[in-house]
Structures are given as C-alpha cells and as structure tokens.
Amino acid sequence: MSGFTTKLRAGIGAMLDDANVVTWTDSGTVSTSASPPPAYHHLYPDSPDVAVALTTYYAGGDAPAAPDSVVMLQVRTRSSATDDTLADDLDDAIASELLGHYPMTLSTGVVISVITRSSGSPIGRDARGRLERTTNYRLLAYDPGPHRG
C-alpha cells in the first residue's frame, strides 16, 4: 500500500522520466549508468555522481475539512566532482518541467492544482567534492481522506 506522499513522489518522478529529464523506477532501483541521470526517493546512493533525490515534507497550511493539502517537494541534485554545472543544469531542467505544468493529474492519480518554486540554493560539496543543490517547491494537491472533502 502506498500513501499519498509516496504516490506524489513517484508521480513526479514518472513525469520527469517521461520528459527524459531523469531515469525513474518506482522501486528506486536504477542503473548507476542510466542516462538521463537517475532519481531516487528521499536520498541518492553514493554512486553515480550525477543524481537526483525527491522528498516531500509538510510546511503547514492544510485545509482542516477541505481535501487540499500544501505539500513541499524538495529536489536535490548532485554534480560530478569535475563539473559543478551539472547540478544546476539538472535543477533547471526539472524546474522547466514542474513550473507552469498545472493543474495536472500524475500517473499515480495525485492531482496537483498549483506548483511554485519557494527556494533554491547550492548546499555545498559532499565528501567526494561533488556539488549539491536543493530546490523546494510548494504544491497544492488534492488529498481527500475519510474526514476531508
């Protein structure tokens, strides 16, 4: 059984895969030599160098009785140690797919009304010297439950 946030991440990953921006599988098992770069739930493994991680979190703002939820999507990208621009370029390609592409129904059934970028910044280098960057998006999504909407 997959919950709402897993379906949201998987739907975004599948959308980015369909657009040939990342390589995504629901299982999270992606070849380290995948082209375009692989994307993972929450964290990327140590290999490959260039990768994407999608995670979700709540910043508040859900309607108490209506089925609308405010969900934050964090997109982390990582460059190789020899080319710092790869994280930025990958981040730009993801933003191009997400921004302005709403309302939409993801392949997982999650409906998104609005997506806005709320912040983004390089977050430094990892232990191997690979530059990482993070960008956060605010999504208004339809998340009915037994007591909402």
CATH number of 4-142: 3.30.2000.10
What is the model's pTM? 0.92
Place of tokens 């990582």: 78
Helix (H/G/I), strand (E/B), else coil: 31: coil
Nearest CA-CA partner of 97 in 42, 19, 34: 19
Distance CA 117, CA 99 (A): 8
Where in the chain are the domains? 4-142
What average pLDDT does the structure give for the chain? Answer: 91
* Mean pLDDT of the 84-106 span: 94
CB 129 within 8 A of CB 81: yes
Which amino acid does the sequence have at 21? Answer: V
* Mean pLDDT of the 117-146 span: 93
Task: Please report the pLDDT score of residue 149 as a whole number.
Answer: 66
